[in-house]
Chains A and B, each alone.
Chain A
Amino acid sequence: MDRRDFVKTAGGSILLAASSAYAFQFLTSSSASWMKLEVPSTGRKWGMVINLDRCQENCTACLDACRHENNVALSGDERWDIHWIRKVRIEGKIGSKTTEKSVILLCNHCDNPPCAQVCPVQATYKRDDGIVIIDHHRCIGCRYCMIACPYNARCFNFKDTEEWPNKERPRRSHGVAESCHLCAHRLDVGKMPACVEACQRVGAEALFVGDMNDPASNVSELITNNAVKRLKEDLGTAPKVHYIGL
């Protein structure tokens, strides 16, 4: 076989393989779309605003409410603890001025979620209303989504847990990825996420969730009337969690 023949045969083979892969994708995607757990389109796009100026440093009401609502258990060893929402303290220095802040971190429900892009089984996907969610019955536990998330917002359920405080919601099962789903089950029935409700209950009013497509919603107004920041906007992930006071 001379070089010309080799290039021809190899090129043809690769072309054939690529077209087969596309054909396979085309055939499977049509079946996958109706299998996926979709909610009917409501025209909404859920977004979040976190006002760090109102968030009190020692308050853990949102964290506790999330754990209780979604059965997010602590394993007893921080390495394997799951956090859907967590608080971090950050420190920065500009000139001689040192600034410190307490920041709430959770899934950013990106409009272009890298976690959903890399999921080999489409277990992570973005709903029509913008919530990025994991189908725990489909997740194979490959953890590629955790690698892809630029916000360290995902955890993996390494351990089984006996904790099950909220019997209305499923107990967390080991071997799958975990992250905040903005309490989609509550939003679907007109309730606010557990963290937002808890924040309002303690009177802090630092967390807001609302429809970003509705210009009159609290979230839209807060975004319009305040200097808001999103984390790592330069990545093009278009996060839907907005920070005031960051």
Chain B
Amino acid sequence: MDIKFESIEGRSFEYRVTMIAFAALAITGLISTFYIINKGLWVTGMYSRVPWGLQIVMAVYYIGLSAGSLVISGLYGVFGKLEYKPFARIAVYLAMLFLIAGLLSILTDQGRMDRVFIQPFVHFNLQSMFSINPILYIGHILICVVYLWALFTERKKLTTVVATLAFGWAFCVHSGTGAIFGFGARMLYESPLLPASFVAAAMASGTALMIIMIVGLFKLTNRRLDDELIVWLGRFLAICVIVVLYFIAVENSYRAYVIELRHAAVYYLFGGIHSLLFWIGLILIGLVIPIVILFRKKTGKSVKWIVLASSLVIFGVLCERYVIVIPGLTHPPEIFPGMEITHSAIEEGIASYSISFLEVLQALGVFGVIGFMFGWGLRYMKLLPTEARALHPCPESTSRKKL
């Protein structure tokens, strides 16, 4: 199976407009970040009771997308599924970009950004998940670079070795990210299941992202894409989504069952706007509806429906990230068990948090940076295959012919 890769010309009006839009977003994000640095983090709306906000939610989300899309590249690199070779380069490149997005989100959230490039490396603390993770992230980016190089130069043996390393590393990366929360002292964070649950959500969102990117790119550039390839990815996505649902069910059942955590579980499940995001955004839109779409015989084989299900999963996992990070902070640690704090100089009890406009601008800025880098990559690197054929396509399979 001889697969040729090529770059896009990038002279169309649509390409230029898209690149300008990404650049504009990136510049807006940069300006808002400078404003925040200048004024102090208080302008983001965060405060001592809720010290993490949208940037951390987005960082965790991006890192998940990265780890998930790298797993898709492993279908060819590790498991030798030759029909998925056409997507391997895009998957690795996207994995690298999303990890950069995660790191940018974390970087722009620090109180003293100027110290981030030196202190964590000079005063490394192996006991801290926040110390271990940057090593995993930087390793992940380096592995992606070598992986891309192996794919571009068609080095089969090296590809297999690096792909395997990347596959294992991606698991560590997202387990490590989950451990930042799961190994924490907060009632709604602490869970040894969280790293595994994070990996499942990463695989679901990464697969969903790859489905959307592949179908979108092939359609926009008029390339042949056999439906069977997407239908198989859809089935894989369905399994990932069921695993995510299972982990969520176990975690919440545990909290609801254990008496000392029951109060926190009730707050999590029925305590405010985050509960709506949990039930409607995550469970209904993000998991149940996609499962129905992907398992129904008719819709599960339709690329359009699979793309819709993928979009819903991506939205659902974003909601999941929010309902992990924020309610864990707004729900207070119980300093005096069995007693209530009735008066204090600071806001005690359940805290409030709302996303600020500046945080949204920062998040869009990060998205603009990686969007621009992706567009640049498509133009200057041979990322896209000329076509993607199934090894045994059905005769009635509708395929687009490359113009």
Contact = CB atoms under 8 A, between A and B. Distances in A.
Interface of A: 1, 6, 9-10, 13-14, 17, 21-22, 24-25, 28-29, 31-32, 35, 75, 78-83, 86-92, 100, 103, 105, 114, 117-123, 138-144, 146-152, 154-160, 174-177, 231-232, 235
Contacts of B335: 105, 150-152, 231-232
Given A146-B51, A156-B51, A158-B40, 16 more contacts: A1-B160, A17-B139, A24-B135, A75-B42, A80-B48, A86-B346, A89-B342, A138-B123, A139-B111, A143-B52, A147-B184, A148-B185, A158-B41, A175-B112, A176-B112, A235-B185
Given A9-B165, A24-B135, A92 B338 contact: yes
Interface in B292-348: 329, 332-348
A13 B120 contact: no
Contacts of B333: 149-152
B91 to A, nearest CB: 18
Contacts of A141: 41, 110-112
Contacts of B80: 1
A144 B120 CA distance: 13
B127 interface: yes
Contact of A121 (B47, B52, B120, B341): B120
B35 interface: no
Contacts of A156: 41, 47-48, 51, 111
Nearest to B334: A232
Nearest 10 A-B pairs (CB), nearest first? A141-B111, A175-B111, A158-B42, A92-B339, A89-B343, A120-B130, A79-B47, A143-B51, A10-B168, A25-B126
A156 B338 CA distance: 28
A114 B183 CA distance: 11
Contact of B110 (A6, A17, A122, A140): A140
- Counting chain B CB atoms within 10 Å of each CB, the highest count among A21, A28, A147 belongs to A147
28 contacts: A6-B78, A9-B161, A17-B169, A28-B122, A28-B123, A29-B124, A32-B124, A83-B346, A87-B344, A90-B339, A91-B340, A117-B127, A118-B127, A120-B120, A121-B119, A121-B125, A144-B128, A147-B189, A151-B333, A152-B332, A152-B346, A158-B41, A174-B111, A175-B40, A175-B110, A232-B334, A232-B335, A235-B185
B116 interface: yes
A35 B236 CA distance: 51
- Interface on chain A toward B: helix, strand, loop, or mixed SS? mixed
Contacts of A144: 128, 130, 180
B336 A147 contact: no
Contact of A92 (B116, B186, B336): B336
Contact of A13 (B123, B125, B132, B169): B169
B349 to A, nearest CB: 11
B239 interface: no
B129 interface: yes
B341 A142 contact: no
A139 B332 CA distance: 24
Contact of A175 (B41, B121, B131, B189): B41
B46 A158 contact: yes
Contacts of A119: 125, 128, 130
Contact of B126 (A22, A105, A174, A177): A22
B164 interface: yes
Contacts of B340: 90-92
Contacts of A138: 115, 119, 123
Contact of A89 (B42, B112, B120, B341): B341
A3 to B, nearest CB: 9
B94 interface: no
B142 to A, nearest CB: 12
Contacts of B87: none
A173 to B, nearest CB: 9
B52 A10 contact: no
B172 interface: yes
Nearest to B337: A232
Which interface residue of B127, B161, B185, B343 has the most chain A CB atoms within 10 A?
B185
A235 B80 CA distance: 49
A123 B111 contact: no
A149 B139 CA distance: 30
A50 to B, nearest CB: 14
A150 B224 CA distance: 56
B268 interface: no
A138 B115 CA distance: 7
A89 B344 contact: yes
A86 B42 CA distance: 21
A33 to B, nearest CB: 10
B165 A121 contact: no
Contacts of A149: 185, 333
B172 A14 contact: yes
B163 to A, nearest CB: 9
B167 interface: yes
Contacts of A79: 42, 47-49, 347
A155 B123 CA distance: 22
A36 B39 CA distance: 30
B329 A147 contact: yes
B346 A78 contact: yes
Contacts of A118: 127-130, 184
